Structure 1
Amino acid sequence: MKTITPQDAAALLRDGATLVDVREPDEHARERIPGARSLPLSRLEEAELAVHDGKPVLFHCRSGARTAGNTDRLGAKAGLCEAYIVEGGLDAWKQAGLPVATDRRQPLELMRQVQIAAGSLVVLGVLLGALVSPWLYALAGFVGAGLVFAGVTGTCGLANLLRMMPWNRVPNLPVVTSAG
């Protein structure tokens, strides 16, 4: 699949191309390219992608890494349409000065919440271990072991816990796959 610059992508969008955001719904809800349709990689196989006849399909993520790593899957989803990956993703789109829709009322992306919580717990464990009792270093060790487990298995207990928090309990965000 070919890559396309954000400027060329914007021109194709003005001509009726379909833009597909492959990030997770929580990422799309917080910040997105106006008009982009949400079709997360995690649900790619189960969703239908309706496109305008004969018009190109453009795929993007935050930095371009997810789309570049999934070109075969995305190409298969685009079918016979001309398909592109937006080079540099949303980050490059913003750097090019192109419009972005942001909704700060949406919670931070779940992975950022995990990073903040895990980092805070490690720092807390080290501080408490140094200031209160060496036994409290175990908190930092427990969090580290949890991160290793998450990396090996693909299951993150902290992410599952944070997903249940009140600020993350939003109605299911729709995955928009229709062309109109």
Structure 2
Amino acid sequence: MLNEHGGVGELAVRGPELFLGYLDPALNESAFTDDGYFKTGDLVSIGQSGAITVRGRVKDIIIRGGENISALEVENHLREHADIEDAAVVGYPDEKMGERVAAFLILAKGVSQTDLEIAGYLRTRGLAAHKCPEKLRIVAELPHTASGKVHKQLLRQRLSQPS
């Protein structure tokens, strides 16, 4: 089950192999839909072929200067850019702000980083300035975990390496 929201929604599942609930019944209300589907916390999109792509996590939040920033919100804006094939957004540590926003981008064929204009594009889409990535890394591919999720911890580690 996918609750649609701009083409990306939370994956919810049910089946005979699914556990029946938590020992603490208070946890079940937020973990299950009213009709018994388990909310996985994974944000996914469904392609035209029916393939499911994991896009992130519901609680994938960057805290910058006390403000919560949804990594998925920024990623969705970036993915709409004609010159960007895919994007992953992570927070990185900052002494002053707590965290800042970084984006790893896969560019469309024939596009170079010098052709790319991100800040103005995001402003025209109405994204608040504090949510705009302050670091950009162009990559050929995004690393994935065995379950198909973007390996964001690995991306955070890459930020500490020279670009």
* TM-score, normalised relative to structure 2: 0.24
Higher relative contact order (Cα pairs below 8 Å, separated by 6+ residues): 1
More helix per residue: 1
The higher radius of gyration belongs to 1
More strand per residue: 2
